[in-house]
């Protein structure tokens, strides 16, 4: 039986709100944390009996795009750039739109900038800003803006303040309230990757121009990591850094200025905490070091992570793709401030024959909240071939 098309992002009808509350990528709501201590248990849910996660194949006709940038706006998902072949120096210029009401992708524009290993954030639920990336010959610090209302690229606004002779690739962006975002990444040279990371604020817009500012906030050198806000002033920076013990690297970043934009996470406050039959991942089951994974936060300080790839120089076969789904829960008594648990999937049933029993191996893919759950799309699948699948991770009742 086919899943009903779901409403989009932030504009769901009242009847759709029962399913519109799994997770939101890149931004998390502060309402839970304004009322509850960071380490306190989440408040009880008043309308959810969901206790399992289900994974469903939405379509096998998705754009081939690894190391692409994705963002949600105006009730749709947008995907730009990326590469089709591993280690390619020929990034795409295509911009695609996914409509969650029809489960279909549409090519909107093929005349944009050629970029891969870049990131994106949205302003005014309309303007899609694509930051940095590899253009086929050099790293950039440019900001390109697409108007999702008129479906056109806007003239590129100047972006000042970035260190001279540098660029960004495989970095992260976390939206902040107001008009800007926080960027974390190595300040690589135009063609060489430096081994130090920096934290930069990015303010402005396509009308007035953008401005970078480097902040003296200590952060480990990372590339291919994720940075997700767990409340209005804290973010977790995950992966993107090899560890001699092959354990995933995770650190907490406390924001000394401004607030992260966490408005959309209020819908998800109790869901991950209701997952049953979980196992704490320690010892040989611990979460291995990785990069190019997906990480998504809920509103109560938990983080869901999927996929990625390991580091070949650490141990034999550690560069293989990952398929694991895991949840990080804050715990002040543990090293790193939290504990990882597995996130089991509900198997196929007679009433739900299309559910997948296992999560796919994916790397350099995208993950965004979409109406009834989290969309996973793009990236490389097993064998390092470009994936054409879009999956939906959603809550189900036991």
CATH number assigned to the domain comprising residue 61: 2.120.10.80
Fill in the DSSP letter of residue 62. Answer: -
**DSSP assignment string, 141-165:** EEEEEEETTTTEEPPPPPEE-SPTT
Which residues neighbour 45 within 8 Å (Cβ) at sequence distance 6 or greater?
A: 269, 270, 271, 274
Segments of the chain with pLDDT less than 70: 1-51, 188-196, 244-245, 263-277, 282-285, 312-319, 332-336, 347-353, 370-372, 397-398
Instruction: Specify the residue for token string 């870049």.
Output: 118
CA 337/CA 359 separation, integer angstroms: 27
Task: Using alpha carbons, list the distances in angstroms from residue 11 to 75, 104, 323, 370.
Answer: 6, 19, 31, 11
3 in a domain, yes or no? no
9 in a domain, yes or no? no
Count of structural domains within the chain: 1
CA nearest 66: which of 289, 319, 295, 384?
384
8 in a domain, yes or no? no
Please, how many CA atoms are within 13 Å of residue 266, restricted to the half-sphere of its CB? 9
* Residue 341, SS3 per DSSP: strand
CA 76/CA 61 separation, integer angstroms: 17
pLDDT (0 to 100) of residue 397: 67
| pTM for the model | 0.85
pLDDT (0 to 100) of residue 40: 29
6 in a domain, yes or no? no
pLDDT (0 to 100) of residue 345: 84
CA 356/CA 345 separation, integer angstroms: 8
pLDDT in tens, 86-98: 999 999 999 999 9
CA 293/CA 130 separation, integer angstroms: 19
Instruction: Specify the residue for token string 């994916």.
Output: 362
Domain residues for the domain of 380 are 14-397
pLDDT (0 to 100) of residue 17: 30
pLDDT in tens, 154-171: 999 999 999 888 899 999
Distance in angstroms between the alpha carbons of the first and the last residue of the chain:
18
Instruction: Specify the residue for token string 């992966």.
Output: 239
92 in a domain, yes or no? yes
pLDDT (0 to 100) of residue 4: 46
């Amino acid at each position: 039986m086919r899943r009903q098309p779901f409403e989009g992002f932030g504009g769901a009808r009242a009847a759709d709100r029962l399913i519109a509350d799994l997770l939101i990528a890149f931004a998390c709501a502060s309402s839970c944390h304004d009322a509850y201590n960071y380490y306190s248990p989440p408040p009880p849910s008043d309308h959810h009996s969901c206790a399992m996660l289900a994974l469903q194949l939405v379509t096998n006709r998705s754009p081939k795009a690894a190391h692409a940038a994705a963002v949600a706006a105006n009730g749709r998902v947008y995907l730009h750039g990326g590469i089709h072949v591993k280690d390619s120096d020929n990034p795409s210029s295509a911009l695609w739109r996914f409509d969650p009401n029809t489960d279909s992708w549409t090519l909107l524009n093929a005349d944009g900038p050629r970029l891969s290993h870049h990131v994106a954030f949205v302003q005014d639920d309309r303007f899609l800003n694509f930051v940095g990336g590899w253009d086929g010959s050099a790293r950039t610090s440019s900001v390109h803006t697409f108007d999702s209302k008129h479906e056109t690229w806007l003239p590129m606004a100047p972006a000042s303040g970035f260190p001279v002779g540098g660029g960004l690739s495989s970095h992260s962006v976390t939206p902040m309230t107001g008009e800007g975002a926080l960027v974390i990444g190595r300040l690589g040279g135009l063609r060489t990757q430096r081994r130090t990371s920096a934290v930069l604020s990015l303010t402005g817009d396509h009308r007035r121009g953008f401005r970078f500012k480097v902040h003296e906030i200590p952060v480990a050198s990372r590339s291919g990591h994720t940075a997700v806000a767990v409340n209005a002033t804290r973010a977790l920076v995950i992966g993107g850094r090899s560890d001699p013990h092959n354990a995933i690297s995770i650190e907490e970043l406390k924001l000394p200025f401004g607030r992260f934009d966490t408005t959309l996470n209020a819908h998800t406050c109790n869901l991950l905490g209701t997952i049953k039959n979980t196992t704490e991942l320690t010892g040989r089951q611990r979460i291995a070091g990785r990069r190019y994974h997906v990480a998504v936060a809920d509103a109560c300080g938990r983080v869901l992570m999927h996929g990625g790839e390991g580091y070949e120089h650490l141990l034999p076969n550690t560069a293989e793709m990952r398929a694991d789904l895991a949840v990080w829960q804050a715990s002040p008594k543990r090293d790193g401030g939290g504990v990882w648990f597995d996130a089991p999937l509900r198997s196929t049933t007679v009433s739900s024959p299309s559910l997948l029993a296992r999560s796919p191996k994916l790397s350099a893919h995208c993950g965004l909240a979409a109406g009834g759950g989290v969309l996973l799309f793009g990236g490389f699948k097993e064998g390092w071939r470009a994936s054409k699948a879009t999956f939906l991770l959603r809550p189900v009742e036991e």
